[in-house]
Structure 1
Amino acid sequence: MENDFWKPYRDKGLQVVAIDLAESAGLVKKYRDKHNITYPILLDPDQSIFSKIMGRATPWNIVVDQKGIIRYSVGGFSPGAIKSVVDGLLQGQAKS
């Protein structure tokens, strides 16, 4: 996410947020430091956020537009599909 989306798109208005389901704050910090991650990672140990977004697998990727509408939601990581949705949203073409 860092190099595929966050760095190239952040100046265009993209926000990236990760949600960790199991690790402690200390382990998440070590992971962020080791991998030079600069976007926020939220902790969700009771999976209250994850369950509300209907996540059924990890990783689970969601793209939300500026109006708060979920435009893409899928388990796994498909950079090409995510890039297509993000590019469309940034160009003003909402994709479902």
Structure 2
Amino acid sequence: MKKRRLVMRTTILVILAAAVAYTLYANLTKDNRMKVEVGKKAPDFVLVDMEGEKHKLSDYKGQGVFLNFWGTWCKPCEAEMPYINNQYNHYKDKGVQVLAVNVSESELAVNRFAERKGLDFPIVIDTDSQVQAAYGIDPLPATFLIDKDGKVVKYHTGTLTESTVREFMEKIKP
């Protein structure tokens, strides 16, 4: 009886120790998992927008791309959308494009959100989270600034102000 209890306790202890070790390892190496580095070429992808048009990142070569990952449920994302929209309308004819990548939500939810906010820029949905994984996105909102040559100039997480969006677009304007 005592031997069986000792074996059970030891087994539980080993499982707990393994879980703690994995958690520590995952947390200590999460910064190393950043898949997209500043100064390197941005991973190419193809996603479809709300009108059924395909958007391939490499098709924007020669233009700056303001690549924003967001969700309708994300309050900081919601707060920055009007600023992105305002600056998009100012910079779209100056060689800066916005691609807003929604992270796996339904087309209905995204359409309602875009209509309510009056968004003009292309919105694509990453239905299978492959682009989100390729870019190592966590947490939202996350923004990548990509220059005319397809290289990442800056990575930013957190809410953007209108002046920050303007500054970022100015930075990637060809």
Under a length normalisation based on structure 1, what TM-score does the superposition of the two structures give?
0.81
Shift of 1:81: 4.0
Counterpart position of 2:170: 87
RMSD: 1.7
Greater fraction of residues in helix: 2
Q: Does 1:54 align with 2:136?
A: yes
Counterpart in the other structure of 2:112? 30
8 Å Cα contact 2:104-2:126 kept in structure 1: yes
Q: CA deviation at 1:82?
A: 4.2
Shift in alpha-carbon separation, 1:55–1:35, aligned structure 2, 3 A: same
- In the alignment, structure 2 segments of 5+ residues that lack a partner are 1-83
Fraction of identical pairs, as percent: 21
Runs of 4+ with deviation above 2 angstroms: 77-86
Alpha-carbon distance, 1:61 to partner: 0.6
Matching residue of 2:150: 68
Aligned partners of 1:89, 1:40: CA distance in 2, in Å? 18
CA-CA distance at 1:39 after TM superposition = 0.8
In the alignment, structure 1 segments of 5+ residues that lack a partner are: none
User: Are the counterparts in 2 of residues 63 and 70 from structure 1 also a CA contact under 8 Å?
Assistant: yes
| 1:70 Cα deviation after fit | 0.7
CA distance in 1 between partners of 2:151 and 2:145 (Å): 8
Deviation at 1:73, TM superposition (A): 0.9
- Give the number of the structure whose alpha-carbon radius of gyration is greater: 2
Give the conservation status (yes or no) of the 8 Å contact 2:146–2:172: no
Superposition deviation, residue 64 in structure 1: 0.6
Between the two structures, name the one with larger relative contact order (CA 8 Å, sep ≥ 6). 2
Q: Name the amino acid aligned to 1:29.
A: N
**Cα shift at 1:18:** 0.6
Aligned counterparts of 2:171 and 2:128: Cα–Cα separation in 1: 34
**Residue in 2 that maps onto 1:13:** 95
